[in-house]
Amino acid sequence: MGSRYARYGQLLGWTMLACAIAGAYGAIHNQVSYTVSPDYFHAFKFLQFQFPESLRHRGGASLVGWLASWWMGIAIGPLLYMTYHRRLQAAPSASQMCRGLAITLVVTAIVGALALGIAQLTVSHESVHFAPQAAKDPLAFSRAGILHDGSYLGGVLGTIIACVFGLPRQPSATP
């Protein structure tokens, strides 16, 4: 019975670390998106999160990022842990889990950056589909939104890639 509880404790610990990484990513990510479009926060996110005026600044954008992304760790941590546990037929090592989390983080950042790059190249004033009336720069607002969507997509893709390719191939038994 003790090993089962140890595995649950490890699962909880890796989930908490994944939540911390996801939240930190969101806080840093929002510094980039605040640079792209402060309007994205002042006309949308600060209102969505019901932030008081005193938090409607760059620091508040980081807090929004934390609040909007920490929960991704609830999916990422357990999915990596359980996938690796099943494939290894044992608890994954710290280096294996850190590798999986790093793969997820890097893919998330790359896909988010690609989304922003594509948005910068392709989204024009004529192609903006959604921006609230309060947005002073609808084009920048739209580009920041695409960056956010790209990062969520990157988190999903990164988790899948880490689950599939995160463990080194195990040598197959020879007959």
Q: What is the pLDDT of residues 26-84, one digit of tens each?
A: 999 999 999 999 999 999 999 999 999 999 999 999 999 999 999 999 999 999 999 99
The crossing angle, in degrees rounded to 10, of helices 72-88 and 94-122 is 130
Would residue 47 count as lying in a domain? yes
Q: Does residue 159 contact residue 76 with C-beta atoms inside 8 Å? A: yes
- Total count of domains within the chain: 1
Would residue 172 count as lying in a domain? no
Would residue 171 count as lying in a domain? no
Would residue 130 count as lying in a domain? yes
Range of the domain at 21: 2-165
25: which 2 tokens? 């990513």
Which pLDDT belongs to residue 170? 62
Which pLDDT belongs to residue 7? 87
Would residue 85 count as lying in a domain? yes
Hunting for tokens 């990022």 — which residue is that? 65
pLDDT in tens, 69-82: 999 999 999 999 99
Would residue 81 count as lying in a domain? yes
**148-166: average pLDDT:** 96
Q: Does residue 103 contact residue 162 with C-beta atoms inside 8 Å? A: yes
Number of H helices, E strands in the chain: 7, 0
Nearest to 166 by CA among 88, 100, 77, 80: 100
Instruction: Tell me the DSSP string of 68-82.
Output: HHTTHHHHHHHHHHH
Which 8-state DSSP code applies to residue 127?
A: G
